[in-house]
Structure 1
Amino acid sequence: MSERNKQTVLDFYETGLNQKDFHAAAKLIGDTYTQHNPRIADGIAGFEEFIATIRQDFPDLKADVKRLFADGDYVIAHVHGIRVPGQAGTAIVDIFRLDEDGRIVEHSDVMQPIPDTAANTNGMF
């Protein structure tokens, strides 16, 4: 189940965020979709609006999944999000919950802009 759920989340990033293909990504979302990101509305309609917004405002946005962790019906992703090529981007941790059919039913995230300088040389990924 964990490997299947990880693959679903990877497919979600690729179709939804990288390709901005709402219809392909919507197939990976369950009958209910609870959203904890305060900028995105609940449900499939909220996700559709989000995809339309990034397609218009950030057509070159890319989500580069660096790590995936799965535990039962939860998948956690460590992601490098870049809205505009050439920018440093954002370090993101997304938390997804999937239903028994392997579809995404809940999402929350934390985001941190990648700074120009750091007190160490470890990087954010």
Structure 2
Amino acid sequence: MDITSAVRTSGSGGSVDTKLERNKRNVLAFYEVAINDKDFAAASRLIGDRYVQHNPSIADGAEGLERRIEFMKKAFPELRAEIKNIFAEGDFVIGHVHGVRVPGERGTAIVDIFRLDENGRLIEHWDVMQDLPEEAANENGIF
């Protein structure tokens, strides 16, 4: 998904909407540089001074993010995240994402929750992941 097309503009032009749209753009940029490009230097410019991580396999702070990106570069160099939906409310942005570690695999459905500071930098992260099944009990699709 193209980053610019993923941000849905509300059109009201108010300062709250502007903040929400900025926050969504920053999270989309983070997905692109941290996950798809695996570029820690670019990703580090999008996180705050303190980055709290709730995923138990990733350490807090910029150092934890850097180690995770280095791991992804080595273990899953072709890993891609495709943002299916993105929502913003208050200081939070939620991404509904299709992650594929290796091309050709079904991948994983991911819900990421980010909290951003007043400057639009990411300062906290939670995630929930579900492998895409081979068969489903319904025809609704996971996305």
TM range (shorter): over 0.9
Unaligned runs of 5+ in 1: none
Partner residue in 1 for 2:120: 102
Percent of aligned positions that are identical? 62
Deviations 1:65-104 (A, max 9, x none): 0000000110000000000000000000000000001000
TM-score by length of 2: 0.87
Matched, 1:26 2:44: yes
Partner residue in 1 for 2:104: 86
Match of 1:102, SS? coil
Q: Cα RMSD between the aligned structures?
A: 0.4
Partner residue in 2 for 1:112: 130
Q: Which structure is richer in relative contact order (CA contacts within 8 A, separation 6 or more)? A: 1
Shift of 1:122: 1.1
Partner residue in 2 for 1:55: 73
Match of 2:56, SS? coil
Question: Where do 4+ consecutive residues of structure 1 move more than 4 Å?
Answer: none
More strand by share: 1
Partner residue in 2 for 1:42: 60
Is the radius of gyration larger for structure 1 or structure 2?
2
Q: Which amino acid aligns with 1:115?
A: P
Partner residue in 1 for 2:94: 76
Unaligned runs of 5+ in 2: 1-18
Match of 2:104, SS? coil
Distance 2:116 2:25 in 1: 12
TM-score by length of 1: 0.99
